[in-house]
A and B are shown apart, each in its own frame.
Chain A
């Protein structure tokens, strides 16, 4: 009698309902932390009360990795990695606040300032601006690069809102919230490199956009004074984002219901 040779199943059945994701452990700034394998380093750091500055990240929206302010040092990796789109590995050693990281973050902020005309003293978001706040927190005292002073127009053709490209940092929050939450996808970014710009529909005045629903979510998620409500004067534009987590939850539930219905 021959003994049947054992061939391991190439795709072993994993009970995802019992153990949906792996939990792994790694360190952030020398602290032992544990994370689900599908969580980003940024999210784990936030859960553990470790500060990592971000500008394009917003809870409830997909990640873009656009602003690069959340860069962290990972032992063994030659480059700094954006923590908002980097998943942890077992035994990874992450440093969030070395001199190198802090220096790069300041440089990134300075480049943002030099690229557009961020004149806080006349800005509607003065005092409530995420870019401004980050500059204070990260200790950016001056800009070492030459300002470009690009000529950008203000589009106030919309009935209730206006867009000032001088203040835009191209974080794409407006693009994402319009696409992912409102579902209109009125915003996108045209061009490339230094000539990039957010646009509505076919680069037409916002007020003439056919797809814009006028919901104003883009205005509320904008980190700077680039998108603002009309009638607001200097320092009067305070953004309200309370709607985001709930809408995000409802969208997720909706998707789950659809998926389960099909199955």
Chain B
């Protein structure tokens, strides 16, 4: 059975993301499960994001070709949703929740203090590729407001000082993780 999904004719400049990389096999599986239909776009982008950590332009082109979705539509969808990122993530990621409860709890001052400490805003990565700062619309952990996620680990009732303390641990390379 051919593992690679049929790319359409418009996908001439296809990258060689085919059968070797296990991750592409998983992405192809997602597309095939939805019959390679255009409406599988978001599901497929989720799959790429999950397995690669970000969406690069080659990946977007590949998905557009395989699902027969216009390139601009793929890019529009990828930039509309906060979950998708077009740049590779840093070594560590810090997600600050900006949901209503966290916002009232002082999420913006946490973001400001991170900006002052490491000089990156939401959606940016430090130049040394160490830390990425992201925001979330709501983590669903409003009882823990303001909540942040450090490398997938959720921490509640954060203060600027506590967040900076965690970030300094990363920058000093003594997380031991």
B-binding residues in A (CB < 8 A): 179, 184-192, 199-203, 210-211
Contact = CB atoms under 8 A, between A and B. Distances in A.
A188 B57 contact: no
Given A199-B75, A201-B75, A188 B70 contact: yes
B60 A202 contact: yes
Interface residues of B, number: 14
14 contacts: A184-B70, A185-B72, A185-B73, A186-B72, A187-B72, A188-B76, A190-B79, A190-B80, A192-B79, A199-B76, A201-B75, A202-B60, A211-B10, A211-B70
Interface in B51-104: 57, 60-61, 70-76, 79-80
Interface of B: 10, 13, 57, 60-61, 70-76, 79-80
Contacts of B73: 185, 188
Contacts of B70: 179, 184-186, 188, 211
A148 B39 CA distance: 36
Contacts of B76: 188-190, 199
Contacts of B61: 202
A198 to B, nearest CB: 9
A251 to B, nearest CB: 18
Given A185-B70, A188-B70, A211-B70, A203 B75 contact: yes
B72 A202 contact: yes
A210 B14 CA distance: 13
Contacts of B57: 202
